Amino acid sequence: MNQFLQRLLICAASVTVLASCGGGNDIASGGTGTGVTSASAVASAKATPTVAAMDNIGIASVPAGSILKVAYVDGIWTNTFSSIPAAGFAAPDIVIYSFIQNSKNNNPPFNGLNSITIDPILAASITSGVKQQSSSSKVFISVGGANMLPADINMTNANNIVNNVIAGIATLNKTLQKPIVGVDLDLENGITAETISTLAAGFQKANFLVSIAPQPVSTSAPVAPWNLPNINPAYPNGVPNVSPALNLSSGGTSNDYGAAIASGNVDYIFAQAYSTGPGGISVGGCAETQPCIVGQLATAFNNLMQPSCTGSTSPLCIPSKTTRNNPVQYAIGVPTNQGGAGTVNSIWGSGTYSDSSILNTLATEITNDIPIFQKKGNNGIMTWVLNADYIPTSYNDSSACVGGFSSVVFGATQAMSCP
């Protein structure tokens, strides 16, 4: 989740935020004590997010129970975390609390990867959040984030990280209303395939569900006249001299997550269909700035799924079952709004925008894609980040509807309000 650029944008744009810059943890993340506690700058035009109400104000909504709903929450930025209402926590099927990491920029500094206890700030957020989740939802904790470099997570310390995280979760689970059952690997900045595979295998062996948050990338650009390397979703492993292959990367264009997936040690693939640098990607003629990227990328994942990847020579292969016989599922990731994106490479664009219009288009697209999501299992949508959905002004976004994404896409019962 690319935070550094957004951090700079926030610091440059706001005197209030400037006073707290240096404590960030991910896209548009701040630190404890930012002083931002409300979305009062957003004017309200409230609408109850039921299907009927959405129809009445001209906004589509995704049918309830039709897709897998996955949401990240930033448990470190406490002032925005506290703005997420109970309805926000209750709507997703999986809530991922981020991040276990090492960070010298926080006060006090985090040392999560080297500690056998979960950082107290993150632990407190998880304790609060799980009480508000639905009874059927799952609790995940995420390792990594955009601040973590190969110097922090590598083969030298991978096994130690697994042991530390397992110990920290075991201690925290004794106090939680519902336990952490999954570990998410949001590994960026070129963390190696060997390291990712070691982490996934370690957590899978310890009976945790394992999710990954790769960046979908193209191996190379085909010949002109295409402006973007257009991946053919029918042939996601590429066609020589015709179309490039899809890789799932932790940075660059390499297929860093492919080995872990093929090994059967990954239960969920939460693909970040945004923030791909430097120029983005295109799948089936849809760029990540267009909502249609959702269906095209889902089609590619369906075509990558095989009964087994044993003996496969394909660069990217997704087995239908894990080593523990769990179904492998995917969710296509989009930001909750422009503030959550922190970059122009998303469906929200840049500058002033109509959030309700984009939400309507996105909900329509997802609804049309339900047959694709359901073709090979219960798949759906991931979003970064619920904090930005409910207090977008703290993410330098004055155009977003408060609670808009959760209401329209996830069916949250909290009333949304638009500027």
* Mean pLDDT along residues 239-256: 91
Bridge partners of 388? none
pLDDT band at 6 (very low <50, low <70, confident <90, very high): very low
Give the pLDDT score at 254.
92
Residues 6+ apart with CB under 8 A from 267: 182, 204, 209, 210, 211, 322, 326, 328, 329
One-letter identity of residue 79: N
Q: What's the pLDDT score for residue 56?
A: 36
Of 365, 294, 360, nearest to 330 by C-alpha is 294
Q: Which DSSP string corresponds to 294-318?
A: HHHHHHHHHHHEES--TT---SS-E
- The H or E element containing residue 70 is strand 68-74
What pLDDT band is residue 228 in, cutting at 50, 70 and 90?
low
Spatial neighbors of 148 by CB under 8 A, at least 6 apart, are 99, 101, 102, 113, 187, 188, 189, 191
14 pLDDT exceeds 50?
no
Are the CB atoms for 126 and 112 separated by under 8 Å?
no
Alpha helices in 57-113 (DSSP H): 78-81, 86-90
Helix (H) or strand (E) holding 336: none
CA neighbor of 180 nearest in space, from 138, 117, 224, 131: 138
CATH numbers and ranges of domains, the chain: 60-387 (3.20.20.80)
Angle, CA 101 vertex, CA 100 and CA 107 arms, to 5°: 105
Tell me the whole-structure pTM to 2 decimals.
0.87
pLDDT at 277 (0 to 100): 76
- Quick one: DSSP state of residue 321? B
Q: What digits encode the pLDDT tens for the residues 289-331?
A: 999 999 999 999 999 999 999 999 999 999 999 999 999 999 9
For the beta carbon of residue 207, count every other beta carbon within 10 angstroms.
9
The predicted pLDDT at position 302 comes to 98
- Is 70 exceeded by the pLDDT of residue 211? yes
Separation between Cα atoms, residue 98 and residue 75, nearest integer Å: 6
| Paired strand residues for 268 | 211, 329
Mean pLDDT of the chain: 86
Cis peptide before 385 (omega within 30 of 0): yes
pLDDT for position 110: 83
330 or 31, greater pLDDT = 330
Q: pLDDT tens digit string along 337-351?
A: 999 998 778 999 988
d(CA 230, CA 216): 12
Of 21 and 364, which is predicted with more confidence? 364
User: What pLDDT, on a 0 to 100 scale, did the predictor assign at position 240?
Assistant: 86
- Average pLDDT rounded to a whole number, residues 401-417: 96
Distance CA 71, CA 82 (A): 16
> Which of residues 67 and 276 earns the better pLDDT score?
67
Q: What is the DSSP string of 172-219?
A: HHTT-SS-EEEEEEEE-TT--HHHHHHHHHHHHHTT-EEEE-PEEEES
